[in-house]
Structure 1
């Protein structure tokens, strides 16, 4: 066999084989294992729920309603809306909601300049009084009334430093691709968490011990994945940072600009893992293999697909029938949802890596999303 053709096949085998092996390892060894955590379901700490907003007048009241519906003692909850110079009347909508709802403590913090989500979170953290701080995006929902109580109960174990949800898409746009993507990654997040910790958190619901947040210096303002990086720092510090299976959240999917949305999120995760590279030696023994696997999947593995494809195209151009057959097979496989979802994800990661060369997308244009009842 031609050496270049053999190299292309080898690259493809590694590219597809490693993530599949990692998925099967976590699913078979860890997914169905019981949690090695001392969780008290009745544990009820005081909580500060931070909602960062920018031009969210259409969604903020429903988000506040969503939180107010939670079956959790109202005297143990404070909601902090931190608005980053909205121009659509978001602060006014918050004030209107506050006057119409009694018994719910809400603080409104207004920034005069939009500097990014992490800046806003740190501003809100200055006035937070809860033992646990929860951050949640406006375009997300907690379908169960027990979501908050379920998440906070994990903090009854002193080794738990951070907790996040699993999530599913709520909008109709690209929902097939997005749901398939989530099904795969939810298994990964749970398996990593039961092993030790996961380095990827979700903005729909991410909870942290407040004293730990303060010790870590708040949320990082130089990268986009503030929730994931802070959770990773918690795990590197010896705490557990876990995604739990008793907290499921939904997120709205953009009507337009779906791929731009995916690429921006990929940019933020890539920034997070690049920043984490220098901290790898400090990670606990159980966490280090997880970090290495995720760094490989986000930073290096996508480029194997690019290199292998380039080699095959080159071989086709110089008359290789075998290379043409392989490219045709790869194209036909795009009819399979799981394969198509994976390829789309790799394209997003590759594009994100390139875009990170000139922009970090710390702030971005708001995208229109499906509003579901």
Structure 2
């Protein structure tokens, strides 16, 4: 049963070291398999350094405060880790029945092996995909937080060392129901309020098979945004998988003509060869990967340079460990990484921790 905790008790439980301590040869073969195993993905992050003794997991609970839900992990010695979920309460039965039981009684220092083991146990691999890995991600984040409390280290330090304490940010609009004039006005006001010098807006219609949100909206929006904001503002555009290859390239060249810096998800996210064709045809930086949960597919993407920047979502992809493995793949291929996270407030704490370490 989901439990409710009061605000004062939640703050006492959550304000600790873990979350808050610090702001090969490419193959062109078709993608045929989905291997989610972490066992051969990367070298160890050395989580046993967090403690000389085992950190046994006693309980993993789902808590609620208002409209927010949290995963609280407790060790047999009383150490606590917290993850603020990204919503999706409809996944809680999957979390409670298939994910949480596997972790109980295990040593949290073995997290790298555990996120592999929960995929294989009881044929959970038959459920591989965003819904399953999102549940694992919540547990992974809470366990990393708990390890941080025990070791008195930030998650960035646990992963291998803090490389940065500041990151550039942009404001993002998720709307397609506005006219170009309305959108530029709304975004412009937010930029003035925040001082942001970069913005991301939407083109296309979201998995829309070349249909725009409104006829001509994308072309008009891009041109108006550049004219209004000038050359000192960095502009990104997200298509959310709206296009096939010819239209994706056509839109990409239009974005290039207006000096847009990043073109996100031109083709449906699982059309990897099509995405690579678009990337190969353009000079603009092409990004994507927020919906992907397969390490093997990320390996294909990075080895074949199907994208210039990979964007795994830390929740969707199964947590910090698996996302860190994607970061290592990207670094090996000399690609960028910018994890997807549309949330704000405490829900972005794990992203900031990851960014402090990311290669």
Shorter-chain TM range is: under 0.3
TM-score by length of 2: 0.27
Which structure shows the higher helix fraction? Answer: 1
Q: Provide TM-score, normalisation by structure 1.
A: 0.26
